[in-house]
Structure 1
Amino acid sequence: MSATAVSEEIMRTWVDDPKGPVALAMKEHLVPVEGEGGVFFPPTYAEIGYNIDTLGDGTKVVTVDSVGSQANRMEPIFKAGSGDDVLARLVPQVQLDLGDGRAVSLLEVGHRLGDAIIRSSKLKEEARAAFDLFQRSGDATAIAKLAPTSLVFGVWDSRGKHAKLPRVVQSVIRAFDVDMIQRSAQYFPPLDYAALEVFSDDEKVKSEKNPKSPVAQRGFVAVPATKLPGGVIARGPIVRDVTINLVALRRLRGSAQDSGELRRYILGLCLAAATEPPDGFLRQGCLLTPRPDQPGEWHIVARTGERTPVALPSAVVRSCATKWAAEFGVGPDRTEKFDKALAKADLTDTKPGKAQAKEQTDVKKSGKGKKGG
């Protein structure tokens, strides 16, 4: 089936039609730069190493890049200085000045508008007001003016009133039918430090048998490193799945005067983020590229499950994203100073959590509930 030629009119229906499609989905097959069967390194996690699941049929599936990690890689494409001025103009450039010549972009903050660094600056009250407005009325305008990517990649005000907005764009990379391999290494110091009387021969022998000893950890003796995670080989596909949740997008609301501008603005950001080709360098030993013989293809997924191929050319996406950003009105660029006093106060501030718990208790007692946006 040939792909549907996308247009602004078609894309507007994705956010305006309450019975419209549920999602846009794309499956992209990847391959290590070393070629088919090449060794690549998934992320390692504390206590478990690689995150490998075994399916009922025995197939082993490894997480190559998690949903959260993918979001953190995609979000900075909107940052000023990233090399793409078109994308940078779509969002407000908010900087947190650390006061020592360094600054942190809000686009690089892991928890977005709910992050501790926000509560450690003058943005604290503004962010709290934006979350409060959303919880009270479902109006996400203030969030979109301050940190629109929080609506694209999701945010949870877990330390405040617990406002929670789901991801509209989700991406994850998994590899199937994998085998884990091991690697070993041996370090040899350039000098015999025991012979130079830096420490005794006995201490040298003991330290060489104990890699955790201070002498070994400081690199003064030969240290073996054996049976370490050495990457994986995938006999099955390496797949990047990208989804734009149009149901979640249509649930976003603006002010009473908004006639769909906010949803179209966020759709433009979602499309720009999801269709931008990633660089594929995930970590040391893990550089993946698309398979040219199996190009990724976007599909419109209807409520019935019917899937229709759709072409999302960059020129059309960027044109619409730029137009919709202008119609909505991108929030102002700004720089706020990190405040150490606010950060220290936040460490002992339990009032938001207590207030939230009391509010939930009061709601249960009254038998009345609140609906989110």
Structure 2
Amino acid sequence: MSEHLSFEDLVAACSPGGASVLTVVTDLAPAAGAHGAIAPAKYVRGSQAVYAYGRRFIDGEPQHVVTIDSKSSSLNRVESALADAILDGEEPLSRMPRIQVTYEAGPSLADYQLPHRGFDGHIRAATIEGVAVTKEARYRAARDAKAANVRALMELSPVSLLFGSWDATRKSNQSRFRSAMTGEIIGVLAVQAEGGPETPMMGGARVDPVAASVQLPGPVLDGLAKAQSDELSGKLLEQIAKDVKKSAKGVASASRLGLGAIPPALESLGLVACRRIIRSTVLSFSALRQLRFGSPGEGDVAGRAVLAGLGLASLARANRELLIRANCDLVEASAPVMTLDGRNGNSRQIAPLSVEEADALLSAALDMAQRTLDLTWEGQTFSVVGNPAIVAGATSDEEDAQ
């Protein structure tokens, strides 16, 4: 019978010479059954959409696999679960300090929702009480934090230490912290062909109940586009304007405005059959042990335990849902296998953590940090005002975003 992860286990893992990692591995399966195919993650190579194939050592031999959920996407799902818990006021996660950037005519985003977390461009371009954030003393101290003493960053943006961050655009004195938590989902391809995998294709189509084709005079099409101009991208408006110009005195297709049918065409990436699907997550205690909090000994251990507890509480919530993407509905084929490294080739199997158990570990770590580090989590929010020029210059056109 698997043991439960105790707080003593967590403290020992955060202490010098402790466990290197905690791993969670779950076998998944297509919700439709073994015959069901799924949509892996899509990537862009040149101008083409592709799947990420590779070779992994599985069941004692190298096998062709495809990426279903990448390392960065998997981590984003953990952060999304953390964001939901904070939005719902769930303790102890809702007590976590954070940086919040708010745009007057746009969104309000926290550091755990931004790609570079506490060092993100949205935050660095913001102001606080009319002063550039980069000149504010608390933020400068957080930006200057290094592994030898991360206390200032821990008090402002702990997610930057757990999920990784890099102050890449800074001219000098850059801070960079690797993610202490990584994960992915891969699928072992059902067909292990000698020459490597072949990407299946599938057809797409659109039916218009009014007419298979809608052809409009140029001025009419132009008027329809202008009536919706506030809601259409600049790129689409340019394409429609070209269609109108080419039509001269004739007519042009209104398909760009979603009118008319699109005949089936075998040109989209198809679904992939997998004989096995594996989700894995690794929490690196070795990475956490590189961090110090200005309190050698028990205080440093407590700071690491808080970050580990934060990761486990967020992961437990993320694993409650199996929402990946359209055409990729999955179920658990077996219970998660959680393993705690015991060093020197030894390991212990741990019972999967429930949300309540993970929260209890984080709460105990916070109590220890309060006592040894005087670290208090009360939902402190470092609020900054986003630069309005960023919202004004925002576009959804993919070419502009690349």
Answer with 240-249 or 71-80: which moved more.
71-80
How many residues are treated as equivalent by the alignment? 328
The aligned counterpart of 1:261 is 302
Runs of 5+ consecutive residues of structure 2 not aligned to the other structure: 128-132, 192-198, 222-242, 393-402
Q: How many angstroms does 1:124 deviate by? A: 3.3
Residue 282 (structure 2) pairs with residue 243 (structure 1): yes
The aligned counterpart of 2:344 is 304
Question: How far apart are the structure 2 equivalents of 1:188 and 1:264?
Answer: 56
Question: How far apart are the structure 2 equivalents of 1:220 and 1:318?
Answer: 51
The aligned counterpart of 2:322 is 280
Residues 58, 254 of structure 1: alpha-carbon distance in 2 compared, 3 angstrom cutoff: closer
Q: How many angstroms does 1:278 deviate by? A: 3.9
The aligned counterpart of 2:266 is 226
Amino acid at match of 2:181: V
- Mapping of 1:94-109 within 5 angstroms? 94-100=99-105, 102-109=107-114
Question: How far apart are the structure 1 equivalents of 2:151 and 2:205?
Answer: 57
Question: How far apart are the structure 2 equivalents of 1:118 and 1:312?
Answer: 36
The aligned counterpart of 1:316 is 357
Residues 196, 139 of structure 1: alpha-carbon distance in 2 compared, 3 angstrom cutoff: closer
Residues 260, 100 of structure 1: alpha-carbon distance in 2 compared, 3 angstrom cutoff: same
Answer with 41-50 or 304-313: which moved more.
304-313
- Mapping of 1:33-182 within 5 angstroms? 33-47=31-45, 48-54=49-55, 59-79=63-83, 82-83=87-88, 85-100=90-105, 102-122=107-127, 123-125=133-135, 126-134=138-146, 138-160=148-170, 161-178=173-190, 180-182=199-201
Question: How far apart are the structure 1 equivalents of 2:82 and 2:215?
Answer: 55
Question: How far apart are the structure 2 equivalents of 1:219 and 1:141?
Answer: 54
TM-score for both structures, normalised by structure 1? 0.78
Q: How many angstroms does 1:51 deviate by? A: 0.9
Tell me the C-alpha RMSD between the 2 structures. 3.1
Question: How far apart are the structure 2 equivalents of 1:218 and 1:195?
Answer: 11
Answer with 181-190 or 241-250: which moved more.
181-190
Question: How far apart are the structure 2 equivalents of 1:153 and 1:175?
Answer: 24
The aligned counterpart of 1:329 is 376
Question: How far apart are the structure 2 equivalents of 1:256 and 1:19?
Answer: 18
Residue 12 (structure 2) pairs with residue 13 (structure 1): yes
Retained in 2: the 8 A contact 1:119–1:343? Answer: no
Amino acid at match of 2:316: T
Q: How many angstroms does 1:185 deviate by? A: 2.6
Residues 194, 251 of structure 1: alpha-carbon distance in 2 compared, 3 angstrom cutoff: closer
The aligned counterpart of 1:361 is none
Percent of aligned pairs with the same amino acid? 23
Answer with 75-84 or 103-112: which moved more.
75-84
Question: How far apart are the structure 2 equivalents of 1:78 and 1:242?
Answer: 16
Could you list the per-position Cα deviations for residues 136-158 of structure 1 after superposition, in whole angstroms to 9, with x for gaps in the alignment?
Answer: xx211111111111111111111
Question: How far apart are the structure 2 equivalents of 1:178 and 1:333?
Answer: 49
Answer with 324-333 or 246-255: which moved more.
324-333
Q: How many angstroms does 1:28 deviate by? A: 0.5
Amino acid at match of 1:181: P
Amino acid at match of 1:142: A
The aligned counterpart of 2:236 is none
Answer with 55-64 or 104-113: which moved more.
55-64
Question: How far apart are the structure 2 equivalents of 1:71 and 1:131?
Answer: 22
Question: How far apart are the structure 2 equivalents of 1:6 and 1:25?
Answer: 12
Q: How many angstroms does 1:343 deviate by? A: 9.8
